Amino acid sequence: MKCDLDQFRKIKTPFYWYDLGLLNQTLAVVKKESQRYGYHVHYAVKANANERILKTIRSYGFGADCVSGNEVLASLNAGFNPNELVFAGVGKSDDEIKIGLTNNIYCFNVESIPELEIINEFAAAASKIASVALRINPNVNASTHHYITTGLEENKFGINMWEMEDVLKALEALPNIKLIGLHFHIGSQITDLQAFKGLCIRVNEIQQWFFAHHIIVDHINVGGGLGVNYTDPEKELMPDFATYFQVFHDLLEVRPKQTVHFELGRALVAQCGSLISKVLYIKKGVKTNFAIVDAGMTELIRPALYQAVHKIENLTSSLPEAKYDVVGPICESSDFFAKALMLPETKRGDLLSIRSAGAYGEVMSSEYNLRTKAVAYYSE
Ligand SMILES: *Cc1c(COP(=O)(O)O)cnc(C)c1O
């Protein structure tokens, strides 16, 4: 992580800091390791829709994975090719479906029969054929290292296999829909590759089922979800993409001419971003002291929302360590970044770097408490 302290001291805090050098290195590795097998990578725009980041990712030739009409428009604006754009989401509005149709996107990832019917209706009205992939709930547990095939049907996402006969029947009556793919996404921040092995095995079974129904689709989309190292980013500035893609190459059964697609978000952008914040006050607490900083859940909501862990560094102190709760200024008890964290003795005016904030950071920021939006800066 490149960091220029003299420069940091001059910038109004809090701010996001993106290391574009690391982003470029990461993208180069993803490109090389995916191309080895002819795989298509669509960047999951929801992880970070910052225009400069989008343009950088686009420059490597990746497609985009969008979950809203505005993400479709932002991707097109950033230069992504509509032919490489997929549009997922359990609740696409009428306007959003029309945006996809108007812009001739590659594929709608569809999650229910009613959605298929509405897309068919709008496609017919526009005299178009909409290409769709069925998002299937594969019933694979993303958090375990066993090949588990039970338990996730309560999820709102995807179509369950027991509904699939009905889906095929519905498709017969929808002339403006073309089934081109099967889509899966089992979860996020997955660091145990066994979960992806389980997914491959399940996808093979599901493909067999479709084959038995005389259907071979053009593509298989295995989603995203590859995790990053939040506790020790320096040790792993990028995930092991080579092994990740190799798992699919080794285990996924691909039919002749079938293409394989991925939707990576976090794995591409998490490590290149940091949130830089200034310490406002040190306040004495009962067990530990509070380091009250000028960034809060408004700039990075992951700790408050998912009890997520981010590494925090004091960039300006090298004193002996003491224990702190690092908290923000927002009027919510969940507005903290770390509890009982050992940091070099910290004083008012010190700069803290909250690491691995490139994914689901800036894009989830809000103006709650009427906060001013933090600005993003970049190092080449
Ligand atoms: C969120 C999401 C992704 C990206 O997830 P990451 O964990 O950031 O890789 C991919 N596909 C779909 C359908 C998603 O909802």
Question: Average of pLDDT values for 239-249?
Answer: 98
Residue 306 has pLDDT above 70, yes or no: yes
339 pLDDT above the threshold of 90 = yes
Distance CA 316, CA 3 (A): 12
Query: DSSP class of residue 140?
Result: -
pLDDT(349) > 50? yes
Contact call for residues 206 and 161 (beta carbons, < 8 A): yes
Q: Is the pLDDT of residue 350 over 70?
A: yes
Q: Is the CB of 185 under 6 A from ligand 1?
A: yes
Cα 97 to the center of its chain, rounded Å? 21
Q: Is the pLDDT of residue 124 over 70?
A: yes
Q: Which atom of ligand 1 is nearest to the CA of 187?
A: 7
Ligand 1 in contact with 88 (CB < 6 A)?
A: yes
Instruction: Please provide the average confidence, as pLDDT, over all residues in the chain.
Output: 94
Query: Which ligand 1 atom minimizes the distance to the CA of 44?
Result: 4
pLDDT band at 157 (very low <50, low <70, confident <90, very high): confident
Answer yes or no: is the C-beta of 44 below 6 A from any ligand 1 atom.
Answer: yes
CATH topology of domain 20-269: TIM Barrel (3.20.20)
Q: Is the CB of 352 under 6 A from ligand 1?
A: no
Q: Is the pLDDT of residue 154 over 80?
A: no
Percent of all residues in the chain with a pLDDT value above 70, rounded to a whole number: 96
Q: Does ligand 1 come within 6 angstroms of the Cβ of 263?
A: yes
Counted residue by residue, the chain has a size of 380
Mean pLDDT of 184-191: 93
- Give the pLDDT score at 380: 84
Domain ranges of the chain: 5-14+271-379, 20-269
| Closest alpha carbon to 245 in 200, 278, 281 | 200
Ligand 1 pocket residue status of 47, Cβ below 6 Å: yes
Which of ligand 1's atoms lies nearest the C-alpha of 188? Answer: 7
Decide: 266 in ligand 1 pocket, CB within 6 A. yes
Distance 264 CA to ligand 1 centre (A): 6
Q: Is the pTM of the predicted complex or chain greater than 0.85?
A: yes
Residues of the chain with pLDDT > 90, as a percent, come to 91
On the question of pLDDT at 319 being above 60, the answer is yes
Nearest to 53 by CA among 360, 352, 298, 353: 360
- Is the C-beta atom of 71 inside 6 A of ligand 1? no
Distance 262 CA to ligand 1 centre (A): 9
Question: For a substitution probing ligand 1, which of 90, 262, 263 has the most ligand atoms within 8 Å of its CB?
Answer: 263
Mark residue 38 as left, alpha or beta (left: phi above 0; alpha: psi -120 to 50; beta: remaining).
left
pLDDT at 332 over 60: yes
Q: Would the pLDDT of 146 be above 90? A: no
> Do the beta carbons of residue 139 and residue 150 sit within 8 Å?
yes
Q: What average pLDDT does this structure show over 369-375?
A: 97
Whether residue 143 contacts residue 187, with contact meaning beta carbons closer than 8 Å, is answered with: yes
In this model, does residue 251 exceed pLDDT 70?
A: yes
Q: 219 CB less than 6 Å from ligand 1?
A: no
Rounded distance between C-alpha atoms, residue 329 and residue 313, angstroms = 19
**Res. 203: pLDDT tops 90:** yes
Residue 152 has pLDDT above 50, yes or no: yes
CB-ligand 1 contact for 225 (6 Å cutoff):
yes
Dist. CA 109 → ligand 1 center (Å): 13
Provide the token pair at 53: 């980041």
Phi, psi of 379 (to 5 degrees): -115, 140
Instruction: List, in order, residues 6 or more apart from 140 with CB less than 8 Å away.
Output: 147, 148, 149, 152, 186, 195, 198, 199, 202
Name the pLDDT band for 139 (thresholds 50, 70, 90): confident
Whether ligand 1 lies within 6 angstroms of the CB of 227 is answered as: no
Q: Where are the beta strands (DSSP E) in the chain?
A: 15-19, 40-44, 63-66, 85-87, 107-110, 130-137, 159-160, 177-183, 219-221, 259-262, 273-283, 289-293, 312-314, 321-327, 336-344, 351-354, 375-379
For residue 151, the model assigns a pLDDT of 45
Residue 221 β-bridge partners: 183, 261
4 vs 199: which has the higher pLDDT? 199
CATH entry, 5-14+271-379, from 1.20.1730.10, 3.30.40.230, 2.40.37.10, 2.40.30.130 = 2.40.37.10
**Residue of 53, 136, 143, 185 best suited for mutating to test ligand 1, as the one with most atoms within 8 Å of CB:** 185
Asked if 268 and 42 touch (Cβ cutoff 8 Å), the reply is no
Find the DSSP H helices in the chain.
5-10, 20-35, 51-58, 69-77, 94-102, 113-125, 164-172, 194-212, 241-251, 266-269, 302-306
Taking the C-alpha atoms of residue 345 and residue 323, their distance in angstroms, rounded to an integer, is 8
On the question of pLDDT at 309 being above 60, the answer is yes
